[in-house]
Amino acid sequence: MTLQGKTALVTGGGRGIGRAICLRLAKMGAKVYINYVAGADTAEAVQREIADFGGQARVLPFNVADAVAVAEAVKTLIAEAGAIDILVNNAGITRDGLLARMKEEDWDAVVDTNLKGAFLCAKAVSKQMMKQRFGRIINIASVIGCTGNAGQVNYAAAKAGLIGLTKSLARELASRTITVNAVAPGYIVTEMTAALSEEARAQLLSEIPMAVLGSAQDVAGAVAYLAGPDGGYISGQTIHVNGGMYM
């Protein structure tokens, strides 16, 4: 229970990696605010899972790309909880397509959610974190932000930008005992990977030295380490969780 008494906000916390992070932080004792913009049912299901093992959780719907909505949500959270100790910027979307055919709105949607959303949330919580002289900001990046990938110029650019944001913000906030790090997952078991053909799955595994896909729990473990006391002297770093795919 190393996060007992701490409050965490996890964006996009209703499913997949976000869900695993919410569960892990709650099991460590944190009070978790589960953000979502669509899919109230899944977010509420995570809240119930946490309540079932005696943890504390609330749902907090807002669009991370909307500055006013973010500011109001964080204000509400702080008024209720009294503090915000951990922010996990996990919310993200994809709108894949080759550059020549990519619509401008597909570029904007991905960058607004995946990068601007992290900027807005970090800005909103940093004021309280600086006041309390403590905080942990963890950005969920991607191996694609480091390697690039055909058909994902918007996603790769946003995730690479997230790593740059992480490093710069770590320098800005270090004097207030606020750490800022990124976790970059590789190929993780999801609904999408579960639907792959055997041939496509084999091709995917051939790119991973460990020859297995990762799990959402693998990513949650890295987040939990950075959020906890053992990660207190780590800042400005990108932790790669990818089975050796990118070194």
The answer to whether 155 is a known catalytic residue is yes
How far apart CA 191 and CA 218 sit, in angstroms, is 16
Three-state SS sequence of the chain: CCCCCCEEEECCCCCHHHHHHHHHHHHCCCEEEEEECCCHHHHHHHHHHHHHCCCEEEEEECCCCCHHHHHHHHHHHHHHHCCCCEEEECCCCCCCECHHHCCHHHHHHHHHHHHHHHHHHHHHHHHHHHHHCCEEEEEECCCHHHHCCCCEHHHHHHHHHHHHHHHHHHHHHHHHCEEEEEEEECCECCHHHHCCCHHHHHHHHHCCCCCCCECHHHHHHHHHHHHCHHHCCCCCCEEEECCCCCC
Instruction: Tell me which of 33, 36, 155, 187 is the catalytic residue.
Output: 155
- Check: CB of residue 87 under 8 Å from CB of residue 135: yes
Catalytic residues: 155
